[in-house]
Chain A
Amino acid sequence: MRVVIAEDAAMMREGLVRLLTDRGFDVSAAVADAEALRSAIEADPPDVAIIDIRMPPTHTDEGLRAAIDIRRDHPTVGVLVFSQYVETRYATRLLADRPTGVGYLLKDRVADVADFVDALTRVASGGTALDPEVVGHLMRAGRDTAGLASLTPREREVLALMAEGRSNAGIAAALVITPGVVEKHVANIFAKLGLPASDTDNRRVLAVLRHVSG
């Protein structure tokens, strides 16, 4: 699987290259700013790009803007946006058109290598990976507080994991329950929130996010 990394802190960039190479990824380019990222993607579109939000020259949101452009111009390239803090506003901008092949994670998540690699693989193959922090913000700031209040604590956990973009198998593994139990919880959640049941993970994420964030 081919990856492009855009991260301005050299230490972090080299660490990521090492980690991903070690895990068998092919890092085709590792760049330090949004312009170099755009050219690298133009020259040779990878399966997925890891993009730091804050990069030179302005150190504001050039990474995010590049990520949105890449998602528009290269729908096949997965985009994992990577930052030291999460902004709900950034998440909604990123997910605006479609929640496929996209991720938004805190940089801290690289500490759990297996989870991070799992999220990256999911994004590369068209899935979704949202940071639990983002999902928490969205759910707290969401409009359907009554609907959320009607869920059991377990169902809320399942909902949060769904919103992160995990599959039923992933949710089952995370909560240490069987996939059958997960399916039952999911059905209950959809019924309680009045969402149309959907089979694929992506449509499910979209439905859940639309529901909680309005």
Chain B
Amino acid sequence: MTGKNGPMTALRAPFTTLALRRLVFCVAGVVGAVAVLAVPALIPSAAALILQVTGAFDEEPAPVVAPVFLVLFPLTLVALAFLAAPLGRAMGTAQRALADRLLGERVEPAVPRPGWRAVGYSLLKIPLAIPQGYGAFCYVFGVVNLSYPVWWPLFRNHPPGTTLEPVRALTPFGFLEAQTFSRTFVIAAAGLAMLLIAPWLMRAGTVLDVASMRWLLGPRGLDERLRRLQAGRAQAIDDAAAMMRRLERDLHDGAQIRLATLAMNLGMATEKLGTDGPAPDLAQARELVALAHQGAKDALAELRDLVRGIHPPVLDNGLADALTTLATGSAIPVSVRVGLPDRPAPAIETIAYFCAAELLANAAKHSRAQRITLAVNGTADHLTLTTTDDGTGGADANGPGLSGLARRIAVVDGTMQVSSPVGGPTRIVIELPTHV
């Protein structure tokens, strides 16, 4: 229900799609409650049916009835003990799906899956069915009662003098009877009242139901925390493995190849120089040694880059120095401000550094900005890293780059907010705890 609170809202309430969705949910709730009530009665009813069909009930006195029920009662109890949890879970799953589809209320499944809590929810369906049932009843019969004056002339067109039974209309407080056309307006008024009260009853029924779902079927506080920690741990393990693979690949395709080639060139040069006496091919040997020399310098440069990518040595001096150094390597001018009362944990400094590096790289690639501001502020407990650029905006927080960053931050319970309207500016705020 949108809009201002007021009489119009109350009048419109029955005619919104939300009311119809709630109606379906409430009817399903009543059906569910009936099913819950019916389950314990299934075996005895089946037995009663069999006795009825075989004619055992017709004998006087019915001789087999008592022993049959003596067996059936414990059997029902045993069956319920075994079936209660699966049935409760099935009920819970169905109701969660309904709440999701009809009401847009997502209740995450609990881990581990609920047992007796689901049974508890199923039992709660019975009292929950009271507001739901009344709500659905008032809604449907409100419409029906409201329509009495409309169809009255169609059906009450008998010849004068015919004696007719009064027309009856169902309300929550019993039957209303109408013998005359004017009386149908009383019924219509009752219908209108029912129609107006129905949304509130249905709302109460659905809200209470969803609350019970969250309480009994959804993940509990600790479960939820556990789930987040498990996801974070999986992320950390994946990241570590990916990091090792990247490192292996970089070494294998880079420094290792350079060194192998260098060794090959030196090997060839050695041959060209000969073992003793004058060199057989001094010119070629010189060229090969020059090649090897260049190769050694290239290998060193490559290793230096690799080492900086693993852990920038300047980070040992603190985030301020490291970020300033990082900023000098950026293609877009970056102004850096760092104000921290204490040094955060080394792991947090590393994460903050690589976040900043990634954000600067992103800005350089996509933003077309003229200036970037990089600010780190913090308290004893929290650190805030803010990057702002005056570029074209439109950064997608759900894109692979930023969402990957968000996942890595989440490992240490950090958060990220992205504000990047099309046309800019882009502002990304990362909050990290100062200690893991």
Contacts and interface: CB of A to CB of B under 8 A. Distances in A.
Binding site of B, secondary structure by majority: helix, strand, loop or mixed? Answer: helix
Interface stretch (B143-151, B265-273, B353-361, B411-419): B265-273
Contact of B260 (A22, A54, A107, A113): A107
B32 to A, nearest CB: 53
Contact of B252 (A19, A22, A54): A54
Nearest to B258: A11
Interface string B327-350: 000000000000000000000000
B267 A112 contact: yes
A124 B258 CA distance: 27
B267 A9 contact: no
B264 A15 contact: yes
A16 B266 CA distance: 13
B257 A9 contact: yes
Interface string A1-41: 00000000101100110110010000000000000000000
Contact of A84 (B252, B265, B268, B271): B252
A9 B253 contact: yes
A113 B249 contact: no
A191 interface: no
B263 A12 contact: no
B271 A113 contact: yes
B271 A114 contact: yes
B268 A11 contact: no
Binding site of A, secondary structure by majority: helix, strand, loop or mixed? Answer: helix
Nearest to A111: B263
B271 A12 contact: no
Interface residues of B, number: 18
Contacts of B270: 113
A11 B257 CA distance: 8
Nearest to B271: A113
B18 to A, nearest CB: 53
Contacts of B52: none
A107 B256 CA distance: 10
Contact of A108 (B252, B260, B295): B260
A182 B366 CA distance: 69
A58 to B, nearest CB: 12
Nearest to A14: B261
Nearest to A107: B260
A22 B271 CA distance: 11
Given A59-B249, A113-B271, A114-B271, A19 B256 contact: no
B252 A110 contact: no
B272 to A, nearest CB: 9
Contacts of A11: 257-258, 261, 295
Given A12-B260, A12-B261, A110 B267 contact: yes
A108 B257 CA distance: 9
B268 A113 contact: yes
A11 B260 CA distance: 10
A59 B260 CA distance: 18
Given A9-B257, A12-B260, A111 B267 contact: yes
A3 to B, nearest CB: 15
A18 B263 CA distance: 14
B256 to A, nearest CB: 5
Interface string B237-259: 00000000000010011001110
A111 B260 CA distance: 7
User: Which interface residue of B252, B264, B265, B267 has the most chain A CB atoms within 10 A?
Assistant: B264
Contacts of B253: 9
8 contacts: A9-B257, A12-B261, A15-B264, A16-B264, A84-B260, A107-B260, A108-B260, A112-B267
Contacts of A114: 271
Contacts of B265: 15
Interface string B292-334: 0001000000000000000000000000000000000000000
Interface in B96-111: none
A12 B266 CA distance: 13
A22 B268 contact: yes
A18 B269 CA distance: 12
